[in-house]
């Protein structure tokens, strides 16, 4: 449900026109400036985790899949030393303990964390996931996101399909398992076939499960828009040229070429945008705390970037169309708890599937956006914020009181970068709107 929309189907045309205007004219450039800052461009990730589901020997071998490493000196001293202090001070958090810690930032001191143990029992979002965290792993490395933009890599075919299949087939609450040959016909849907069966099944699902499917589908759209918008147009021995490939875009999103599926997928992108925007708006009190600071080691720059961040969050607050998350998990308490658990497990599985993505560049962005480790990443962080209203409202006004809600740097960086991806995707649609045959997501 989106408040402010008169249409009973809720995703009326006004909504995406309003989102386009807001995103493209007010938000996009400010967000880009923020994401280019040192605090937000360096992301620590373990790209070498083994796939826990099947043997994925292939590492794709495509040049454009490689992730350019960054030298340790490129990472600002403030960020490095913050992490170093954390690593030296803290013993690896045991699984059981970590589960109990819930919302507590693992960079806090042992005493503070223990003091928070009781508190976290009451947290709605204390159900964090437990497996070895990327940020803490010795195999993790810093990656400069600006040096490794999300764009066309050539990763496709059965391997990429296997990932998407597993995500939708096993983790989007499908009531039946479809054998692979049938599944592939579902993916290349034709009118009146499996696809319609899928949508009528989806409509019969509760609002939460539909919402979850739409978030994942929106993420899928965003990834595919990026690769169409930054397609490898020329690949000669002396240069590579990247740019828009509108025909690739149309193959994926045009209503006629996709038997009506494409526009639905674009609408899911807008849905994802609204959810993430809402999460940012709700997180404002956390970022407004004087104790929250960026720490590159260059105080003046950090102060300016914190101001810019707050300005962006204020903008998010001012956006008139708010996603109403109170409509989710609102029914019977027991059922709501079961649903939350189902969704949590589905999310956990999807994040583990990201370790099976054979193309490292795709894996990097997949993990950043949909990863969910001891500290949640991108989309997971948005959901955590959405359902932590009580804790955010209870944030202390002084540094002496214990905090009721925490986000680690890793979570902040992935939250903002994930939103940056979706914002960029929506902006890229402008180019397609100029196509005579493209009629937007409302068809």
- 161 touches ligand FAD by CB under 6 A: yes
Residue 13, helix vs strand vs coil: helix
- 366 touches ligand FAD by CB under 6 A: yes
- 362 touches ligand FAD by CB under 6 A: yes
404 near 216, Cβ under 8 Å?
no
Residue 143: beta bridge partners?
43
231 near 243, Cβ under 8 Å?
yes
In the complex with ligand FAD, the residue whose CB is nearer, 76 or 262, is 262
Residues whose CB is less than 8 angstroms from the CB of residue 70 and which lie 6 or more positions away in sequence, other chains included: 42, 141, 142, 143, 144, 147
- 365 touches ligand FAD by CB under 6 A: yes
- 304 touches ligand FAD by CB under 6 A: no
Q: Residues 239 to 258: which contact ligand FAD by CB under 6 A? A: 252
Please name the residue that has the structure tokens 């705390």: 289
- The distance of closest approach from Cβ of residue 118 to ligand FAD in the complex, given in angstroms and rounded to an integer, is 38
Q: Residues 213 to 242: which contact ligand FAD by CB under 6 A? A: 217, 220-221, 223-224, 227
Q: Total binding residues for ligand FAD by CB under 6 A?
A: 24
253 near 175, Cβ under 8 Å?
no
- 28 touches ligand FAD by CB under 6 A: no
Q: Residues 128 to 157: which contact ligand FAD by CB under 6 A? A: 150, 152-153, 155-156
- 422 touches ligand FAD by CB under 6 A: no
Please name the residue that has the structure tokens 């490292």: 360
CA dist 358 → 105, 122, 163, 221, 436 (Å): 31, 40, 9, 19, 37
- The distance of closest approach from Cβ of residue 411 to ligand FAD in the complex, given in angstroms and rounded to an integer, is 20
- The distance of closest approach from Cβ of residue 226 to ligand FAD in the complex, given in angstroms and rounded to an integer, is 6
- The distance of closest approach from Cβ of residue 123 to ligand FAD in the complex, given in angstroms and rounded to an integer, is 30
Residues whose CB is less than 8 angstroms from the CB of residue 236 and which lie 6 or more positions away in sequence, other chains included: none
Provide the residue count of the chain: 443
- 414 touches ligand FAD by CB under 6 A: no
In the complex with ligand FAD, the residue whose CB is nearer, 152 or 249, is 152
Per-residue b/e over 278-290, b at no fewer than 16 CB within 10 Å? bbbbbbbebbeee
- 160 touches ligand FAD by CB under 6 A: yes
Phi-psi region of 297 (alpha: psi -120 to 50; beta: other; left: phi over 0): left
Which position among 84, 89, 121, 188 is part of the footprint of ligand FAD (CB under 6 A)? 188
Which position among 93, 274, 357, 422 is part of the footprint of ligand FAD (CB under 6 A)? 357
27 near 318, Cβ under 8 Å?
no
Residues of this chain that bind ligand FAD (CB under 6 A): 150, 152-153, 155-156, 160-161, 163-164, 187-188, 217, 220-221, 223-224, 227, 252, 265, 357, 361-362, 365-366
């Amino acid at each position: 449900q989106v408040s402010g929309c008169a249409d009973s189907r809720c995703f009326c045309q006004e909504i995406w026109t309003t989102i386009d205007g807001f995103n493209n004219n007010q938000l996009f450039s400010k967000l880009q400036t923020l994401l280019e800052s040192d605090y937000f461009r360096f992301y620590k990730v373990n790209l070498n985790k083994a796939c826990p589901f099947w043997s994925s020997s292939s590492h794709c071998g495509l040049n454009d899949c490689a992730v350019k490493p960054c030298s340790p000196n490129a990472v600002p001293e403030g960020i490095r030393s913050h992490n170093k202090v954390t690593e030296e001070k803290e013993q690896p958090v045991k699984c059981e303990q970590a589960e109990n810690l819930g919302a507590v930032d693992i960079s806090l001191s042992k005493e503070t964390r223990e003091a928070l143990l009781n508190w976290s029992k009451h947290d709605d979002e204390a159900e964090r996931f437990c497996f070895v965290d990327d940020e803490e792993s010795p195999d993790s490395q810093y990656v400069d996101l600006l040096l490794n933009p999300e764009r066309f890599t050539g990763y496709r075919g059965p391997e990429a399909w296997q990932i998407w299949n597993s995500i939708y087939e096993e983790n989007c609450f499908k009531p039946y398992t479809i054998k692979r040959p049938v599944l592939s016909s579902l993916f290349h849907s034709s009118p009146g076939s499996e696809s319609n069966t899928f949508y009528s099944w989806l409509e019969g699902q509760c609002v939460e499960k539909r919402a979850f499917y739409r978030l994942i589908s929106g993420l899928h759209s965003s990834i595919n828009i990026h690769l169409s918008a930054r397609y490898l147009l020329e690949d000669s021995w002396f240069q590579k040229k990247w740019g828009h490939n509108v025909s690739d875009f149309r193959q994926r999103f045009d209503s006629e070429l996709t038997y009506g599926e494409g526009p639905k997928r674009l609408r899911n992108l807008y849905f994802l945008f609204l959810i993430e925007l809402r999460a940012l708006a709700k997180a404002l009190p956390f970022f407004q705390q004087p104790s929250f600071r960026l720490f590159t080691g260059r105080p003046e720059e950090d102060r300016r970037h914190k101001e810019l961040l707050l300005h962006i969050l204020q903008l998010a607050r001012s956006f008139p169309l708010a996603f109403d998350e109170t409509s989710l998990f609102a029914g019977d308490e027991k059922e709501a708890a079961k649903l939350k658990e189902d969704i949590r497990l589905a999310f956990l599985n999807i994040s583990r599937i990201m370790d099976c993505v054979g193309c490292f560049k795709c894996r990097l962005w997949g993990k950043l956006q949909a990863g969910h480790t001891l500290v949640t990443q991108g989309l997971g962080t948005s959901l955590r914020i959405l359902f932590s209203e009580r804790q955010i409202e209870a944030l202390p006004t002084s540094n002496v009181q214990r905090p009721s809600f925490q986000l680690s740097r890793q979570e902040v960086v992935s939250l903002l970068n994930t939103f940056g991806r979706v914002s960029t995707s929506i902006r890229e649609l402008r180019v397609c709107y100029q196509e005579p045959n493209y009629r937007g997501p409302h068809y």
